[in-house]
Chain A
């Protein structure tokens, strides 16, 4: 595709979206609706070719798909894959009001699958491993037995921070008295975390904005 044409389309779409900073307007609405249409179809097409063709159609109709799925040549059909095909088609019945109730079966598969996958994984990586990683010594000594103040302080901050944060999330008891103070400290720890996340988000967005400004600069450079 012509590079100059790409630059013009790129710049036009960028300016249309940025025009929202002034106020909502037809140019922004046009770009917004274009984005919705293109991104939905793009994700569908990529999902179809990257997952559905090799993992479903390639297994059910290997001879038919031999031209597009390299490993399908000479393979016999695996009819067990009719199960996800049927559930997938059942999911699409949601678009037809009369048969929409059938989509619950497919939805049940997705929800049950997500629950079955997530329960052990979260238990392992986000609970046990995190608790284990928090069990660190509060007093850190070097090889000759001298107290390392900085490292000890950091460890105390981590352990107390996790405990205070968890107390804040513990809603079974009213946060009053000592628990109230600990919970308040938990909020401060969480605020530091949100602040760090906020800082990174700002940096990421500014970096995107810089990229867009560079694209606009390249477009202007192609004109003048």
Chain B
């Protein structure tokens, strides 16, 4: 029962959704729309599960005084404070009926003052690591690395005013070699070709995996044991 029922649920949901996509009227369409709503709702519970899991892990770390446990306290306090502010709309000018991210609300402050600078800086750190990665790729001196870096350089220069300025001296007959034009051509043709090959490959992979899941051949998501 512990493994068979989930397989039956997966099969029914999968078959109904696939049929509902092609049959646009009658009961299948109604079920398709209902299941779409249900799917969106259950996915939100996954966020709650994620929050619960975060609480569980950090509470365990604090209670067992694991390495760096004071930082787990930071996570717990930040999580609980933001959650209370968000769920009860604390400091929201419109009260419980106001928009969750209303201007002047405390959650808005958490978003603008804490979440935004932290996420932006965290991602901007990648600029430094990307620079170091490209230097290492450049040192590798393989044909593939050279192609990758050349394409990246053309795109980088071609999409900024420097690129236009660098190649502005070129005669009209060689205008296609100007960096902005070259960048546009790379984006429109070879880049599209590569993207398309990847997309077709991914699509075939997704179709095969989806079929395996619906037919119960792929069962890894159920985990091990009973």
Residues from chain B with a CB closer than 8 A to the CB of A120 are 18, 21-22
B-contact bits for A115-143, CB 8 A (1 contact / 0 none): 11111111100110011011000000000
Shortest Cβ distance from residue B97 to the other chain A in the assembled complex, whole angstroms? 5
Q: Of A48, A108, A199, which one neighbours B86 at CB under 8 angstroms?
A: A48
Residues B156 and A84 in contact, CB atoms below 8 Å apart: no
- Asked if residues A52 and B117 are in contact (CB atoms below 8 Å), the reply is no
Please give me the residue from chain A that is nearest to B126 by CB atom. Answer: A205
Q: Could you say which of A45, A80, A115 contacts B82, with CB atoms under 8 Å apart?
A: A45
Q: B125–A17 contact, CB under 8 A?
A: yes
Complex Cα gap A216–B87 (Å): 32
Interface presence of B122 (CB below 8 A): yes
Say yes or no: B17 contacts A116, CB within 8 Å: yes
- The yes or no answer to B164 lying at the interface (CB within 8 A) is no
- What residues of A have a CB within 8 angstroms of the CB of B199 in the complex? 126, 130
A23 to chain B, nearest CB (A): 13
- Is A150's beta carbon under 8 Å from chain B? yes
Q: A92-B48, A112-B213, A189-B197 are contacts. A38–B122 as well, Cβ < 8 Å?
A: no
Q: Does B204 sit at the interface, judged by CB under 8 A? A: yes
How many residue-residue contacts, CB under 8 A, span A and B? 406
Cβ-defined contact, A191 with B222, below 8 A: no
Q: Are B82 and A105 in contact (CB under 8 A)?
A: no
Chain B residues near A164 (CB, 8 Å)?
197
Residues of A within 8 A of B56 (CB): 95
Asked whether A105 lies within 8 Å of B6 as measured between CB atoms, the reply is: yes
Interface of B is mostly: helix
Contact (A83, B38) CB under 8 Å given A45-B86, A116-B13, A127-B204: yes
The yes or no answer to A104 lying at the interface (CB within 8 A) is: yes
A67 within 8 A of B: yes
CB of B195 within 8 Å of the partner chain: yes
For B80, the closest partner residue in chain A by CB is A41
CA–CA, A46 and B197, complex, Å: 37
Residue from the list A117, A131, A154 in contact with B17, Cβ < 8 A: A117
Among residues 122 to 179 in chain B, which have CB atoms less than 8 Å away from a CB atom of chain A?
122-128, 130-131, 134, 143-144, 147-156, 159-160, 176
Q: Please, how many angstroms separate the alpha-carbon atoms of A106 and B38 in the complex?
A: 11
Q: Chain A residues with Cβ under 8 A from B87's Cβ?
A: 44-45, 48
In the bound complex, CA of A108 to CA of B121 (Å): 37
Residues of chain A within 8 A (CB-CB) of B86 are: 41-42, 44-46, 48-49
Contact with B along A44-72 (1 / 0, CB 8 A): 11111111100110000000000110000
> Which residue of chain A has the shortest Cβ distance to B120 in the bound complex?
A208
Are A190 and B198 within 8 A (Cβ)?
Answer: yes
User: Closest Cβ of chain A: how far from B145's Cβ, in Å?
Assistant: 8
The residue from A21, A84, A115 contacting B210, defined by CB atoms under 8 A apart: A115
> Can you give 9 A-B contacts (C-beta < 8 A)?
A10-B113, A84-B38, A88-B48, A107-B6, A109-B9, A112-B214, A126-B200, A199-B152, A205-B124
Beyond A9-B117, A112-B214, A208-B124, 4 additional pairs, beta carbon < 8 A? A46-B101, A55-B41, A88-B42, A116-B14
